[in-house]
Structure 1
Amino acid sequence: KFITDFENYLINGPDLQKGKKCTNNGAMKHLERLRKMVNLAVRLEWLDKDPFVNYKKHYKKSERPFLTERELRLIEETTFSGRGYERVKDTFLFSCYTGLAYGDVKALDVDNMRSGIDGNLWIHTKREKTDEAVKVPLLPKAKQILDKYKNCNERLVHGKLLPVLSNQKTNSYLKEITKACGIYKNISFHTARHTFATTVTLSNGVPIETVSKMLGHTKLTTTQIYARVLEHKIGEDMQNLIEHMQTKKAAEG
């Protein structure tokens, strides 16, 4: 009962963030973290019984926003006067071309750059979230961004590959960047990871098994979510084509 009461509190209780209620999936994430601590307590015999024993998580399917090729190009081609905006733009684009999450990009240092089996530059790192090893070949656009910052203070003094701003400031600037580009989607830094999975790799024929490895997923089913998103998009695109052809046929008489 405690677990279901806590779930109810998370979803229906007071605002946990400024003016924002906790979503169903957000509550499930909190409960996942709690479960890890409870499992430890049970193993150490601090608890006689696992309160999660009859509890089942229930995630709701949600759309994972990603940028299209056109939207990606819009951000690339738009320049910003403030140094902070330009840095956020570049770190976001770097994530779009590597699939690395915010924490993983921020943690990157010169030691994470290695020569791969093909003789080209790769990023070798571990996911902050899961500690899973990740190896990503550097696409030319990602390498260009790294080269742009080779003489920045963060690289020369601290050995960091990129000058990454705080998560809060990064997401705040991103909203202004996308708005300036005429992109009206609910974009956060994590959208870059979704963009890498869909627009950059799967849409261009990279096998799903390879994409899964580069994303550091432990289960292929996690990556298959992106494949389903693409199928949905293909369906929409074909429907638009059918409507366009019907309109054209009607106009021709």
Structure 2
Amino acid sequence: MKATLKILLRTNYQTKEGKQQLCLRYTSYRRTTFIGLNISIHPKHWNDTKKQIKASEPYHLHYNQLIKQQTHKAETIILDNYLKPLPVAEFIHQMKDKHYGNTDFYTFIQNEIELIQSARTKGTIDNYKSLINKMKEWKPALTFDEITLDYIQRFHDHEIKTGNQLSTIYKKHANFKFLIGLAVDKEKIAKNPYDKFEIKKITKAQNNDILTEEELQKLQHAYDNNTYTGGKKEVLREFLFSCYTSLSYAEFDNVTYGDLKPVTIKSKSDENQKEETTITTHYLLCNERKKTNVMYKIPIISKTVEQLLEREVTIKTKKGEEHKDKESFQKIFSPLTNQPTNRYLKEIMKDQHINKTMTFHRARHTFRTIAARRGIHDGIAERIMGHAEGNDIKDIYTHLHDEDIVREMKDKWIV
């Protein structure tokens, strides 16, 4: 006996407003079940011939998309079991399985994101989730067959109208292209439409991308005078540290006091540098960048930067206050998530009358620009920043010693 499916309004119950529930009716082996679609409308808004909600209902587009998805899923289950129809209970079970016959891109990709979490940084995963949530606000449901070149162009136009910068928009495109690639790999989509859409990389720095040394001094003064407290003070601390050292936002949650490596520097006094005069010890903050898997080595060569590390903790005892170094396993920073971090940062810039569009990543731009102006060697700047090894700097990386990094920064840029 063939199973049958029909979409209809339940007439045996209606709300106080006169609305009726929209349901899928499934019949198999002379048994029938009704599966609610969580959609209640006035009967006057229902077109029973087309099995669609009329445009007179304010949410008709969203509702019709949901109807289309659920009907397609039910029909897929029936066709997959055409020769031996499923009993009512089994059909209901298959309908509740959100991955069975799924045609919704959002549902698919949320599951895929969970699967790739271990292979991506937390920041990257957060960017994927944020992108999907933003896209849902613009288009609540998205089927695989809707992902076309035209859809990508409309998404691009929508982002421009929203007021986003081109650099931000193209980063979203890059993330969306990757996510669509996951659907292509699972044969949900035949071909990635981004093959015909150019993702431009905006790399030209603007005047409002970086801070001057005078502006950094103003921010440092605000920090030293405890102008801010709580999360806002922590954001300023981390931002200043990044401006001075280039530590990327994604790494702040990982570094511990155990990542500080002592480096001894010997200084010579005569012209031939034969006579040893002084020996000083500085620290390198060393760890591996998640994004590039390249070891960064950040020299800590000034009192200002050392104070931002907050290595000592004050303990009150009966005899008085004692200072004790923090344990090696303790984290140096306590970063907030990306959204409040950048929100606090914009508020701080406004408070300090620094009229520049600033995000946390601009700290690395600031470091690189000041380092270049101070004459810091490119290879050393790249090593400090933890950039991927390119052909031009590979040999420099191979022969670069820790002492060279410390000396270069100590000689040319002490905060």
User: Shared topology, TM-score over 0.5?
Assistant: yes
Q: Provide the residue aligned with 1:172 in structure 2.
A: 343
Deviations 1:162-219 (A, max 9, x none): 23233322222222322232211112222211111112x1111101222122222227
In 1: Cα distance, 2:349 partner to 2:169 partner: 28
Rounded to whole Å, the distance in 2 between the matches of 1:56 and 1:181 is: 39
Which has the larger share of strand?
A: 2
Query: Aligned residue for 2:8?
Result: none
Measured after TM superposition, the shift of residue 156 of structure 1 is 6.0
Please tell me whether residue 208 in structure 1 is matched to residue 350 in structure 2. no
Matched, 1:82 2:242: no
Amino acid at match of 2:387: H
Amino acid paired to 1:202: A
Q: Which residue of 2 aligns with 1:185?
A: 356
Q: Which has the larger radius of gyration?
A: 2
In structure 2, do the counterparts of structure 1 residues 191 and 58 end up closer, same or farther at CA, with 3 Å as the change threshold?
Answer: closer
- The equivalent of 1:94 in structure 2 is 241
Q: 2:283 is aligned with what amino acid?
A: L
Structure 2 unaligned runs (5+)? 1-145, 266-280, 315-325, 392-415
Q: 2:155 aligns with which of 7, 10, 14?
A: 10
Partners of 2:155 and 2:291 in 1: CA distance? 22
| Whole-angstrom distance in 1 between the partners of 2:353 and 2:165 | 27
List per-residue Cα deviations over 1:100-146 (Å, max 9, x = no partner).
12221232122322234755311112223333332222232322211
1:23 matched residue in structure 2: 165
Say yes or no: does 1:66 pair with 2:210.
yes
TM-score (norm. length: structure 1): 0.69
- Per the alignment, residue 111 of structure 1 pairs with 258
Q: Is the contact made by 2:184 and 2:191 (CA closer than 8 Å) also made in structure 1?
A: yes
The corresponding residue for 2:20 is none
Note closer, same or farther for the CA distance 1:20–1:131 as it changes in structure 2 (3 Å cut). Answer: farther
Could you tell me which amino acid in structure 1 is paired with residue 298 of structure 2?
V
The CA deviation at 1:41 is: 5.9
Give the letter for the 1:13 counterpart: H
1:126 to 2:297 alignment: no
- Corresponding position of 2:178: 36
3-state DSSP class of the match of 1:106? coil
Q: Which has the higher helix share?
A: 1
Query: Shift of residue 37 of structure 1?
Result: 4.3
Which one is further off, 136-145 or 114-123?
114-123
Higher relative contact order (CA 8 A, sep 6+): 1
TM-score w.r.t. the length of structure 2 is 0.44
Classify the secondary structure of the residue corresponding to 2:209: coil
CA distance in structure 2 between the partners assigned to 1:27 and 1:103 by the alignment: 20
Q: CA contact under 8 A between 1:94 and 1:142: conserved in structure 2?
A: yes
Stretch of structure 1 that moved more, 58-67 or 85-94 = 58-67
**What amino acid sits opposite 2:241 in the alignment?**
F
Structure 1: where are the runs of 5+ without partners?
222-253
CA-CA distance at 1:48 after TM superposition: 5.3
- SS of 1:121's partner is strand
Preserved contact between residue 257 and residue 330 of structure 2 (Cα < 8 Å) = yes
Output the CA distance in 2 between the equivalents of 1:48 and 1:173: 44
Task: Tell me the residue number matched to 1:142.
Answer: 305
Residue pair 1:123, 1:137 contacting (<8 A) in 2 also: yes
Q: 1:159 and 2:330 equivalent?
A: yes
State, as a whole percentage, how many aligned pairs show the same letter: 27
**Paired residues of 1:133 and 1:216 also in contact (CA < 8 A):** yes
Deviation of 1:3 (Å): 5.6
3-state SS of 2:232 partner: helix
Aligned length: 214
Q: In 2, distance between residues paired with 1:8 and 1:53? A: 13
